[in-house]
Amino acid sequence: MSPQEHTAEAGDHDSRTFAYLVVAGILAFLTAFEVWVSYVHALQPVLVPLLVVLSGAKFALVVLFYMHLHYDSWAFSGIFLPGLALAASVVIVLVGLMVRFFAGF
Partner 1 sequence: MVALPKHIEAEESYLHGGGILSWLTTIDHKRIAVLYGVTVLFFFLAGGIEALLMRIQLARPDNTFLSAYLYNEMFTMHGTTMIFLVVMPAGLGFFANFVVPLQIGARDVAFPRLNALSYWIFLFGAIVLNVGWLYNMAPDAGWFGYANLTESYYSPGLNINLWTLGLLISGVGSVLAGINLLTTVINMRAPGMTFMRLPLFVWSMMVMFVLILVAFPPLTVGLIFLAMDRFFGTHFYRVVAGATPLLWQHLFWLFGHPEVYIMALPAFGIISEITPTFSRKPLYGYPAMAYSTALIGFLSYGVWAHHMFAVGMGPAADSAFALTSMLIAIPTGIKIFSWIATMWGGDLKMKTPLMYAIAFVIQFTMGGLSGIMHAQPPVDLQQTDSYFVVAHFHYVLFGGTAFALLGGLYYWWPKITGRLLNEKLGRLQFWTMVVGFNLTFFPMHLLGAEGMPRRIYRFSPHMGWDSVNLLCTIGAFIMAASVAILLINILLTMRDGELAGPDPWDGRGLEWKIPSPPPAYNFSTIPIVRSRDQFWHDKYGYESGVVPPAPLPAHENEDSGHIHMPAPSIYPLLLALGITMAVVGMLDWLRVALCGAALTLFCAIAMAFEYREAGSENPEAVGIFTGLDNRKVGVWSFIASESLFFASLIATYLVYKGRDLGGPTAETILEMPLVIGTTFILLMSSVTMVLAQEGYRRGDRTWGLRWLFLTIFFGSVFLAGQVFEFHTFYTEGMSLGTNLFSQTFYTMVGFHGAHVAIGVIILLSLVGASFTDWFKERHRDIAVECAALYWHFVDIVWIVIFSIVYLMRSIAKA
Sites of contact with partner 1 (CB under 8 A): 13, 16-17, 20-21, 23-24, 27-28, 31, 34-35, 37-38, 44, 47-48, 51-52, 54-55, 58-59, 62-63, 65-68, 73, 75-76, 79-80, 82-84, 86-91, 94-95, 97-102, 105
* Under 8 Å between Cβ of 65 and 59: no
Q: From the CB of 42, what's the least distance to partner 1, in Å?
A: 14
* Under 8 Å between Cβ of 37 and 51: yes
Distance between CA 38 and CA 42 in Å, rounded? 10
What does residue 80 show for φ and ψ, rounded to 5 degrees? Answer: -80, -45
Q: From the CB of 16, what's the least distance to partner 1, in Å?
A: 8
